[in-house]
Amino acid sequence: MEFTRKITVNAPAEQVWAVFAHGFDDAHKWMASVPNSYGKENGTRFDGASSAGRVCQLQPDPSGLKASEQFLAYDESAKRCTVRIDFVDTPRVFPVRYNTVEFSVVDDAEGGSITTWGFSSKIKPWAFPMWPVIRLGAARFVTQIGEELAHYVETGSPHPRKVAASDGAEPRESA
């Protein structure tokens, strides 16, 4: 399952890259679906990257579902990276093996930038009949993440979805 989303951001590519790549470990600051995130040296640490990867808690309970993400490729000068997303502490019937996101950001002619999110997912064989539903959910999710990133970069504040998802508690540091 593969698709691409492009999202315009009213800020230069350098600002977007600073949040997405240099602040990679801090996804919990702007992603509505992530109550907490932290850096993890779970792969290759590329020049310019803040870490080799991160863990995103996808539930408030630290023992719940998590996304363990690692850079597969990282190009600081081109503002482009590839991230593999493996899921940890999943329910037995979780349909996804792993996801891959190829992210890039370039300046546009109006002083803003365009982010490109190339998404692919490897699902478990038993989940193939559910593929259309999984694809729709993934496409919606990637679009929302792009919107949340754009809002955070443009305003310096979390998207209203993040504010609504937050209970006001500060994320805990984990290792």
| pLDDT band of 171, cuts 50, 70, 90 | very low
In 3D space, the residue among 12, 73, 11 whose CA is nearest the CA of residue 48 turns out to be 73
CA distance 61 to 133: 27
Q: Which has the higher per-residue pLDDT, 107 or 168?
A: 107
Does residue 137 belong to any structural domain of this protein?
A: yes
CA-derived radius of gyration, the chain? 16
Number of domains in the chain: 1
Provide the pLDDT for residue 42.
86
- What average pLDDT does range 99-124 have in this prediction? 97
pLDDT single digits (tens) 6-50: 999 999 999 999 999 999 999 999 999 999 999 999 888 999 999
Does residue 42 belong to any structural domain of this protein?
A: yes
The SS3 call for residue 18 is helix
Checking if the pLDDT of 173 tops 50, the result is: no
Provide the pLDDT for residue 168.
53
Checking if the pLDDT of 58 tops 80, the result is: yes
Q: Which two tokens stand for residue 89?
A: 């502490």
Checking if the pLDDT of 174 tops 50, the result is: no
Does residue 170 belong to any structural domain of this protein?
A: no
CA distance 174 to 149: 23
Does residue 8 belong to any structural domain of this protein?
A: yes
- Structural domain boundaries, residue 46: 2-165
**What value does the mean pLDDT of the chain take?**
94
CATH (domain of 101): 3.30.530.20
In 3D space, the residue among 18, 77, 31 whose CA is nearest the CA of residue 58 turns out to be 31
Indicate yes or no: pTM above 0.75: yes
The SS3 call for residue 148 is helix
| pLDDT band of 167, cuts 50, 70, 90 | low
Does residue 114 belong to any structural domain of this protein?
A: yes
Does residue 174 belong to any structural domain of this protein?
A: no
